[in-house]
Amino acid sequence: MIIDALVAEIGSTTTIVNAFDKLDSDNPVFLGSGFAPTSIDKGDVTIGFNQAKANLMQNLHVSELLAKETFASSSAAGGLKMSVHGLVYDMTVKAAKEAALGAGANLKIITSGVLDEFQLEELKFSNLNIIMVSGGVDYGERKTALENAKKIAELKLNIPVIYAGNIQNQNMVKRFFEENNQEQYLYISNNVYPKIDVLEVENTRKIIQDVFEKHIIQAPGMEHIKEIINEAIIPTPGAVMEASKLLQAAIGDLITVDVGGATTDIHSVTEGKEEVNKILIAPEPFAKRTVEGDLGVFVNKDNVVSIIGIENLQRDLKLSEVELKQLLENYQPIPNSNQVPLTEKLTEVAFDLALKRHAGKLIYMFNSSGKVAYAEGKDLSNVLYIIATGGALTRLGNRIEIIKNVLSKQTDLTLAPSKKTKIIIDNDYIMASLGVLSKKHPEAALKLLMKSLGIE
């Protein structure tokens, strides 16, 4: 059987291979999925890919499966591990963070000001994929970004460094890297914070994803990735962002939520309301991602249990202390019927907290005119749709009720989606794959995404 495309989603624990056909027609087709454990620990992700492909072939009842194109998203080997270094935390550092997170990065180190010896030592041993240096508006402060770029070049880490600060520094930064024989690792981007209260992150996000694709084969276990992938490879969270932006252009403002085993990711694609933008105290990007590394329903379930409280869980689930203890001790990544109520509760709390952290809020301050309202953070009040993807919110029976419960808890001071926001489920669980596919087949990816979401 010959098909148009296979898209692999290489996770830290599971590899999924999705099959697509008729991508150039008016009716592209999602054929099915195959699953297998990710084989990073065996030093070769192609093992897990081939096992997932074999599972797909079994599901499709075919003995041979050839694809014209193969794509991949990856969060394996720790995903895209980055550090960002800027001048002022709430300005250039924030802009760099937004660029990195929106591209799908897992931020390991964040600093403001000139790097000290301890921070430089940390950079040496953090096993990063990319370092990003920002700082200074264009034609503004130069010293901090220059010093940081020079110090990083002198470390000779042989890993990609993206410079996204004051454009006046670009030639000097190039010289630092040339003097240290690191010029092949330097990438120059537009300034992520070119003017006061202006964020420009899209160019940098594209560079981050391009650099990730070029250097992913250096990650442990990923050396053979190019043997099976002949098209784009991007970070899985970045792929979800690509799909979210594609969908927003078609149906309107939205957020995408993925409650996973280790983290809870929220992507929002919205300008917000004009009246809120007028009172914002700091700029926010059009497309924003937050990742909550402490909120997950398997790897980080103990964190969420601690937040809820054992006694509250016993009461809500109508379990004794012994019953709840046994349930937690035998908790599985894919819950059985006994575990589902607990998983649903963990999912609801993880989403609730993640949404509160992602959404902005109204604050009141006093000036000479009296009490005045200001807005801080991302305004989600104009969002029309909540898109649920990921294992928990596409497979749990009460997923719609979980999302509605979270929306009902938001206060008037939170710039969250309204209770009337439409909830849509990624039924085929293919949003990340379609984000990668959209790099080459945007029209087909959008049509397939609409089908999975049940949108006419």
Tell me the three state secondary structure of residue 161.
strand
Condensed to tens digits (0 to 9), the pLDDT of residues 304-357 reads 999 999 999 999 999 999 999 999 999 888 888 999 999 999 999 999 999 999
CATH pick for 251-425 out of 1.10.760, 2.60.40, 2.60.120, 3.30.420: 3.30.420
- Positive or negative, the CA dihedral 266, 304, 9, 233 is positive
pLDDT of residue 433: 96
Condensed to tens digits (0 to 9), the pLDDT of residues 404-418 reads 999 999 888 899 999
DSSP states of 87-104: SSIIIIIHHHHHHHHHTT
pLDDT of residue 411: 85
Superfamily of domain 2-77+219-231: ATPase, nucleotide binding domain (3.30.420.40)
Give the whole-angstrom CA distance, residue 374 versus residue 368. Answer: 15
* Range list of β-strands (E), 90-193: 105-112, 130-133, 161-163, 186-188
Domain ranges of the chain: 2-77+219-231, 80-215, 251-425
Percent of the residues in the chain that have a pLDDT greater than 70, as a whole number = 98
Average pLDDT (204-231) is 83
Whether the Cβ atoms of residue 19 and residue 32 lie closer than 8 Å to each other: yes
Condensed to tens digits (0 to 9), the pLDDT of residues 259-287 reads 988 889 999 999 999 999 999 988 999 99
Tell me the three state secondary structure of residue 444.
helix
Residue 197 phi, psi (nearest 5): 65, 25
Residue-averaged pLDDT of the chain: 92
Tell me the three state secondary structure of residue 317.
helix
* Range list of β-strands (E), 120-238: 130-133, 161-163, 186-188, 233-235
Does residue 222 have a pLDDT over 80?
no
Condensed to tens digits (0 to 9), the pLDDT of residues 100-133 reads 999 888 899 999 999 999 999 999 999 899 999 9
pLDDT of residue 218: 65
pLDDT of residue 151: 98
Q: Which two tokens stand for residue 380?
A: 């989600």
Fold annotation for 80-215: Rossmann fold (3.40.50)
Percent of the residues in the chain that have a pLDDT greater than 90, as a whole number = 77
Give the whole-angstrom CA distance, residue 317 versus residue 326. Answer: 13
End-to-end CA distance of the chain: 30
Closest of 129, 91, 94, 92 to residue 108, by C-alpha: 129
Average pLDDT (31-55) is 88
Query: 2-77+219-231 and 251-425: same fold?
Result: yes
Predicted confidence band at 78 (pLDDT cuts at 50, 70, 90)? low
